[in-house]
Amino acid sequence: MALRAAAYRRGWAVVQDLPLPSVAVGNLTVGGSGKTPIAMWIARYYLSRGLVPGILLRGYGGDETLVHQRNLPDAKVVADPDRAAGAERALAQGAAVLVLDDAFQRLDVHRDLNIAVLSAETQRAVRWPLPAGPWRETRHALERADAVIITRKRASAEAAFSLAKELRGSFQGPLAVVHLGVRRLEGLLSGTGHPASILAGKRVVAAAAIADPGSFVAQTKATGAQVQVATWKDHHRFGVEDVAWLAHAARRADHVVVTEKDAVKLRPMWPADAPEPLVAMLDLEWEHGADDIRAALDAVVTPVERL
């Protein structure tokens, strides 16, 4: 990655221009940082300003594509490993600004704002790069960042702000802190909303096929539930046997709780005669720097005010 970054920095490799103003969101580790919730928040922000966002992602596994489509029906979601080609498709569909999900390392396309997302939880991970550890790049890569957003799920606010202080000299630009918490649940099929407090004292199976299941399990336990854990590898494609196991668990436990990322895959497969799982909805709460991030996003485009 260091050699590749040097090649683009020195002009030895070609950087393609995109047809619209663009914001890239990505991380230094493999999954679990909350980049997709951040990308969705950015898309919603542009929608609130009267701009149709085109969300570009590579589409690996298909789950993140479906999450974007379900949560942002007014956005243009394009899954294509070729981000330049995806940008042209988003433009043709009426997008006015591009949000590139998982694109901090996509040095082959120009972006007007490059946002690095760091998880306060992963700072405790081993400092080894892939494949021995979770790191795509070292912190030196933050020199390419125009803004940094630190997320926390199970980590304390003190840990997140300590990391922010540690990183302050690593780059020039806004630095923000966000808490991603589970405060509400939705029925997988019905969409019925529930406060997370309904899990208190209940027997719950927390099922996940994500990069950081530990945070999801910790958030579920924080509700006061008695938790049994069932995990699969990230982007796992649930099969008939997996769904049968979960349906059996739903009949024996008080609740099965799944992530949004897994819900989009389970929803069309869920048997009608089994109790529906509850989907843990991640709510994003800015703890520092929200206005600076909004200002940076506004600087990318000229906002169109609603009539």
Do residues 143 and 206 share a domain?
no
Do 17 and 154 lie in a common domain? Answer: yes
User: Residue range 54-70: average pLDDT?
Assistant: 90
Helix, strand, or coil (residue 128): coil
Which CATH number belongs to the domain containing residue 107 in this structure? 3.40.50.300
Same domain, 141 and 202: no
**Domain annotation covers residue 305:** no
pLDDT > 70 fraction of the chain, expressed in percent and rounded: 97
pLDDT band at 251 (very low <50, low <70, confident <90, very high): very high
Q: Is the same domain home to 153 and 197?
A: no
Pairwise CA distance, residues 197 & 60, whole Å? 34
CATH number at residue 241: 3.40.50
Q: How many CB atoms lie within 10 A of CB 184?
A: 17
For 44-54, the pLDDT digits (tens) are 999 999 999 99
What is the rounded distance in angstroms from the CA atom of residue 129 to the CA atom of residue 143?
Answer: 18
Region 211-225: mean pLDDT is 93
Q: Is residue 15 domain-shared with residue 46, that is, in the same domain? A: yes
| pLDDT value of residue 158 | 95
Strands 278-288, 175-187: pairing kind: antiparallel
Maximum distance among all Cα pairs of the chain, rounded to whole angstroms: 61
User: For 184, phi and psi rounded to 5 degrees?
Assistant: -145, 160
Contact (Cβ atoms closer than 8 angstroms) between residue 264 and residue 285: no
Whether 60 is covered by a domain: the verdict is yes
**Residue 249: predicted pLDDT:** 97
Distance CA 244, CA 176 (A): 42
Same-domain pairing of 116 and 233: no
Per the domain annotation, does 279 fall within a domain? yes
Task: Output the pLDDT for position 307.
Answer: 43
Q: By percentage, how much of the chain surpasses pLDDT 90?
A: 75
Q: How high is the pLDDT of residue 279?
A: 98
At 57 the three-state DSSP class reads strand
Out of 125-134, 145-154, 219-228, 295-304, which region has the weakest mean confidence (pLDDT)? 125-134
Q: Is the domain of 54 the same as that of 149?
A: yes
Say if 43 falls within a structural domain. Answer: yes
Q: How far apart are CA 143 and CA 267, in angstroms?
A: 41
Residue 118 DSSP SS3: strand
Same structural domain for residues 20 and 151?
yes
Same domain flag for 211 and 169:
no
Report whether pLDDT(39) > 70.
Answer: yes
Asked whether residue 23 falls in the same domain as residue 73, the answer is yes
- Mean pLDDT, to the nearest integer, of 142-150? 94
Domain region containing 134: 2-174+289-300
Question: What's the pLDDT score for residue 271?
Answer: 97
For residues 23 and 165, membership in a common domain is answered with: yes
> Distance between alpha carbon 112 and the CA centroid of its chain, in Å?
20
Give domain status of residue 306, yes or no: no
169 is written with which tokens? 């000299």
Domain annotation covers residue 307: no
Res 225 pLDDT > 90: yes
Structural domain contains residue 273: yes
Give, to the nearest 10 degrees, the angle between helix 35-48 and helix 290-300.
60
- Residue pLDDT, tens place only, 123-133: 776 777 777 77
* 154 shares a domain with 26: yes
Q: Give pLDDT, residue 278.
A: 98
| Residue 55 near residue 68 (C-beta atoms within 8 A) | yes
Higher pLDDT, 89 or 33: 89
pTM score, whole prediction: 0.91
Q: Structurally, how many domains does the chain consist of?
A: 2
Average pLDDT, the chain: 92
**Does 126 map to a domain?**
yes
